Amino acid sequence: MDNKDEILRSLKAIEANQQQQLDGMREALRIQREQFEMARTQYERAERLNDRAEKIQESGARMMATARKALIVLLPIIFFLLLYLTWLIMR
């Protein structure tokens, strides 16, 4: 009878340990899910920021292209106006 009681106590102890390990694994899984959600949120935020930065860069590139085109037109006009002004002053 002592042997059966000892085996029964051992089995109950094993079951309790297994339950404790299972609870620990559930907690670890919960923490991993939270970390995954946090990482996913950060990734989505970074993606939105990158999209916004790309739009800003595209806008800046368009502005620079417009400025270059305007400069091509305005520089010769300014040059000829300066020549004309110089000619008026020297006359």
Quote helix, strand, coil % in the chain, to nearest 5. 100, 0, 0
- pLDDT above 80 (res 1): no
CA distances from 76 to 23, 42, 69 (A): 80, 51, 12
pLDDT at 65: 95
pLDDT digits (tens, 9 = 90+) for 2-52: 888 899 999 999 999 999 999 999 999 999 999 999 999 999 999 999 999
> Considering the entire predicted model, what is its pTM?
0.58
Rounded distance, CA 11 to CA 69, Å? 86
